[in-house]
Amino acid sequence: MNYTQTPQAAAPELSDIQGLIINGYTHPCSVHMLFKFDNNISNLKYIQDFFKDLLPYLQSAEDWGALKPEIMLNIGLTANGIEIVKPSLNVQNSSFPSTFKKGPWDVNNAQQSLGDYGTGAPDQWWNQKFSNEDVHCVVHAYAMNPTAQEKIVGIITDAALKSNGMVTELKPLESESGRLEQYLLVPSDYIHFRYRDSIDEPNLNDNPAGKDQQDLNNFLIGYSTLPNPIPGPLSGPEAAFAKNGCYNAFRILYQDVEAFNNFLDTQAESIAPQIKNTKDYAEEWLAAKMCGRWRNGSPLVLSPDKPEHDTSKATDFGYLKDDMQGLKCPFSAHTRVSNPRDEGVEVAGSDTVPRIIRRGMPYGPPLSIDPKADRGLIGLFLCGDLSSQFETLYGWINLNNFSNVFDPAENTPQDPLVANRIVPLPGNIDPNFTIPMEDGNNIVIDGPLPQFVVTRGTAYLLLPSISALTAIANGEA
């Protein structure tokens, strides 16, 4: 049988695609449950039954109409997980991308871009409760209210308990449940650092022949006609299995809210007289300069002096005409680094800005409720190519050297908000955060800056098609 893929002309098959790839869910409750499978093939039926019990709640990308499902779920599998549930694929010797097969902890591959160090290093992930290789499956469960959340978690838990020990839940947190549960902050679309979140996403379309990085064919496997990136695998039985799927860099990021608040408070003391304003304003001004948006979401390019309601969710702006000196938005600001837009990038001869689809939700209670609790962001970074999309952007965050706005003759700066700080910093990294000023007297915050975000765990998942997951449940080879 010939499994070689050819360019597709048809529109994506929404009924066969997992919903979270296409849709940004707005359910107020979610739990992201990690599982390990027994690798004894003689016990595979128990694992298949686990999937069979979950199939009725598996949400596709089809329009669900006026009423949101009260409970629903999506499922991701690591390379090790696919190896167990689909042994005929022989994943490690297949044409699945090497980045996916080797995992995000690999020091010679993914970690060259992710740069997780110190307490965020891969050997510290998941609070050392289990190994990185143990994560075989993540079930992303969504619910409309806490009662419904308890119901869907119960269904998933019961399915695992019925497996005779062949499916084991892994609980990474020190919290009461140990699970990665969404915490409903107020306002609901903000994170623990008090920034509005999930504003700027790719404007996906279904043009299989398109060349825009926002085209859906850059995310879905089996549709792309482009040379870079081509979501793979592209041939063999693994291509048939992966078609209509998408990769998910599932990343848990602790946010040190106390360190961040203290940093803003301390720096605002000296910044206030330099910008001739109050300390309170200076604190919010610095937070905006670090992010590239005011905390209400207003982009600095459109609202350089203060947050404004009318621009709080704005995405239609660029840097080329309005801010190529960084006077409104610093070159290293987080949102400018993660999406340079029309600024111009030069990486390995490419001028393309990679895009990712991000689904994020806070976990853990706010500082005011429990200062000692673990808190941060559950991040689902969706892409067709983990290396050229997700890892490339993360490499830019850690090393701002991807654009000619950064002088190659000077040391390389870092994203002030999210970058991983190597301690001690190598000599080729600029430890400071520079805010260009119109009078030429730039504000320079001496570094190294604190480590505001620490990686708690990462897994590279494939979000297979509905049909692929059904085949697993039915024991099809």
Q: Is 302 left (phi over 0), alpha (psi -120 to 50) or beta?
A: alpha
Is residue 328 domain-resident? Answer: yes
303 and 245 within one domain? no
Same domain, 239 and 272: no
Q: Are residues 221 and 272 both part of a single domain? A: no
393/284 same-domain check: yes
In a domain, 43, yes or no: yes
Same domain, 302 and 417: yes
Per the CB < 8 A criterion, the answer to whether 148 and 154 are in contact is no
* Whether residues 47 and 72 fall in one domain: yes
Burial of 449 (0-12, 13-18, 19+ CB in 10 A): buried
DSSP state of 387: I
Helix axes 44-54, 466-473, angle to 10 degrees: 130
The answer to whether 232 and 449 have CB atoms below 8 angstroms apart is no
Predicted pLDDT of residue 223: 80
Q: Say yes or no: 128 and 51 in one domain.
A: yes
Whether residue 381 is contained in a domain is answered as no
- For residues 281 and 241, membership in a common domain is answered with no
Query: How big is the CA angle at 90 (ends 86 and 96), to the nearest 5 degrees?
Result: 95
| Cα within 13 Å of Cα(210), Cβ side | 17
Query: Do residues 404 and 398 make contact, with C-beta atoms less than 8 angstroms apart?
Result: no
Tell me how far apart the alpha carbons of residues 461 and 214 are, in angstroms, rounded to a whole number.
21
Other C-beta atoms within 10 Å of 332: how many?
27
pLDDT of 201 reads 67
Q: ∠ CA 114-178-26 to the nearest 5 degrees? A: 70
Tell me whether residue 384 is in a domain.
no
Same domain, 80 and 26: yes
Q: Hey, what amino acid is at 378?
A: I
Give a yes or no: residue 79 inside a domain.
yes
Is the same domain home to 341 and 447?
yes
Q: Which of 123, 124, 107 is nearest to 115 (CA)?
A: 107
> What stretches of 210-313 show up as alpha helix (H) in DSSP?
237-242, 257-275, 279-291
Domains held by the chain: number: 2
Assess if residue 139 is contained within a domain.
yes
pLDDT at residue 204 in the model = 62
Residues 61 and 160 in one domain: yes
Are residues 443 and 465 both part of a single domain?
no
The pLDDT profile of the chain, 477 residues, written as one tens digit per residue, is: 333 444 444 578 899 999 999 988 999 999 999 999 999 988 999 999 999 999 999 999 999 999 999 999 999 999 999 999 999 999 999 999 999 999 999 999 999 999 999 999 999 999 999 999 999 999 999 999 999 999 999 999 999 999 999 999 999 999 999 999 999 998 888 999 999 997 766 666 655 545 555 577 778 898 866 655 578 898 899 999 999 999 999 999 999 999 999 999 999 999 999 999 999 999 999 999 999 999 999 999 999 999 999 999 999 999 999 999 999 999 999 999 999 999 999 765 556 788 899 999 999 999 999 999 999 999 999 999 999 899 999 999 999 999 999 999 999 999 999 999 987 777 899 999 999 999 999 999 999 999 999 999 999 999 999 999 999 999 986
Q: Does residue 380 fall inside a structural domain?
A: no
Please check whether residue 332 lies inside any domain of the structure.
yes
Report d(CA 233, CA 351) in Å as an integer: 25
- Per-residue pLDDT at 8: 41
Domain that holds residue 289: 255-367+389-456
> What single-letter DSSP state applies at residue 41?
G
| Helix or strand holding residue 253 (H, E) | strand 246-255
pLDDT at 301: 98
Helix axes 146-161, 44-54, angle to 10 degrees: 160
- Residues 412/422, Cβ–Cβ less than 8 Å: no
